[in-house]
Structure 1
Amino acid sequence: MRYGFRTDRGLKRQLNEDHCNVLVGYSGVPPCFVIADGMGGHKCGDVASKQAVDSVCKHLLIADWETSEISELLKNIIIDVNKELYQYSMLDESTQGMGTTLIITALKNNKLYIGHVGDSRVYLIRDNSIQKMTSDHSFIEELIKNGTITKDEAINHPKRNVITRAVGYEHDLQVDTYEIDVLENDEILVCTDGLTNMLSEEEILEIIINAENPQVACDTLIENANNKGGEDNITVIVGKI
Structure 2
Amino acid sequence: MQPTLSASLDYAEQSSPGRRRSHNEDALVCAPALGLWAIADGMGGHQCGEVASSLALAALLQAIENGESLAAALHHANQAVLEASVDDGMGTTIVAALFEGNDFELAWVGDSRAYLVTSRGIEQLTRDHSWVQMMIDAGELRPSEAHSHAWRNIILRCLGREEPLEIGTISGSLNTDELLLLCSDGLTNELTDAQIHASCTFADTLEHLVEQLVDQANHHGGRDNISCIVIGRPAVAPAAESRGRRFINMLLKPLKS
TM-score w.r.t. structure 2 length?
0.83
Query: Secondary structure of 1:38's match?
Result: strand
Q: Which amino acid aligns with 1:45?
A: G
Aligned match for 1:17, one of 18, 25, 32:
25
Higher relative contact order (CA 8 A, sep 6+): 1
Aligned match for 1:232, one of 207, 224, 229:
224
Using the aligned pairs only, state the percent identity. 33
CA offsets 1:209-234 (integer angstroms, 9 cap, x no match): 32111111000000011111101100
Query: 2:81: which partner in 1?
Result: 85
Q: Would the aligned equivalents of 1:128 and 1:209 in 2 still touch at CA under 8 Å? A: no
Q: How does 1:3-82 map to 2 (within 5 A)?
A: 3-24=11-32, 26=33, 29=34, 31-39=35-43, 44-63=48-67, 73-82=69-78
Query: Secondary structure of 1:224's match?
Result: helix
Query: Secondary structure of 1:101's match?
Result: strand
Task: Tell me how far 1:43 sits from its aligned partner.
Answer: 7.5
The count of corresponding residues between Structure 1 and Structure 2 is 225
Separation in structure 1 between the aligned mates of residue 177 and residue 96 of structure 2, nearest angstrom = 21
Query: Secondary structure of 1:104's match?
Result: strand
Kindly tell me: are residues 40 and 216 of structure 1, through their superposed partners in 2, closer, same or farther at Cα, counting changes over 3 Å?
Answer: farther
Q: Which amino acid aligns with 2:231?
A: G
Of 103-112 and 41-50, deviating more is 41-50
Query: Secondary structure of 1:7's match?
Result: strand
Q: Which amino acid aligns with 1:35?
A: I
Separation in structure 2 between the aligned mates of residue 139 and residue 149 of structure 1, nearest angstrom = 10
CA offsets 1:131-159 (integer angstroms, 9 cap, x no match): 00000000110001111011122122111
Query: 2:5: which partner in 1?
Result: none
Query: 2:121: which partner in 1?
Result: 129
Separation in structure 2 between the aligned mates of residue 199 and residue 6 of structure 1, nearest angstrom = 16
CA offsets 1:178-233 (integer angstroms, 9 cap, x no match): 11132123101000000001111111011113211111100000001111110110
Separation in structure 2 between the aligned mates of residue 203 and residue 181 of structure 1, nearest angstrom = 24
Q: Which amino acid aligns with 2:72?
A: N
Separation in structure 1 between the aligned mates of residue 138 and residue 226 of structure 2, nearest angstrom = 29
Query: Secondary structure of 2:51's match?
Result: helix
Task: Tell me how far 1:127 sits from its aligned partner.
Answer: 2.6
Q: Which amino acid aligns with 2:22?
A: Q
Q: Would the aligned equivalents of 2:44 and 2:90 in 1 still touch at CA under 8 Å? A: no
Separation in structure 1 between the aligned mates of residue 191 and residue 144 of structure 2, nearest angstrom = 14
Query: 1:68: which partner in 2?
Result: none
Task: Tell me how far 1:128 sits from its aligned partner.
Answer: 3.2
Q: Would the aligned equivalents of 1:207 and 1:217 in 2 still touch at CA under 8 Å? A: yes
Q: Would the aligned equivalents of 2:25 and 2:46 in 1 still touch at CA under 8 Å? A: no
Q: Would the aligned equivalents of 2:44 and 2:91 in 1 still touch at CA under 8 Å? A: no
TM-score w.r.t. structure 1 length?
0.88
RMSD, matched Cα: 1.6
Query: 1:100: which partner in 2?
Result: 92
Structure 2: where are the runs of 5+ without partners?
1-8, 234-257
Separation in structure 1 between the aligned mates of residue 63 and residue 166 of structure 2, nearest angstrom = 19
Q: Would the aligned equivalents of 1:128 and 1:205 in 2 still touch at CA under 8 Å? A: no
Of 55-64 and 186-195, deviating more is 55-64
Query: Secondary structure of 2:115's match?
Result: strand
Q: Would the aligned equivalents of 1:42 and 1:97 in 2 still touch at CA under 8 Å? A: no
Separation in structure 2 between the aligned mates of residue 109 and residue 239 of structure 1, nearest angstrom = 13
Separation in structure 2 between the aligned mates of residue 108 and residue 128 of structure 1, nearest angstrom = 25
Separation in structure 2 between the aligned mates of residue 209 and residue 113 of structure 1, nearest angstrom = 25
Structure 1: where are the runs of 5+ without partners?
65-72
Query: 1:70: which partner in 2?
Result: none
Query: Secondary structure of 2:43's match?
Result: coil
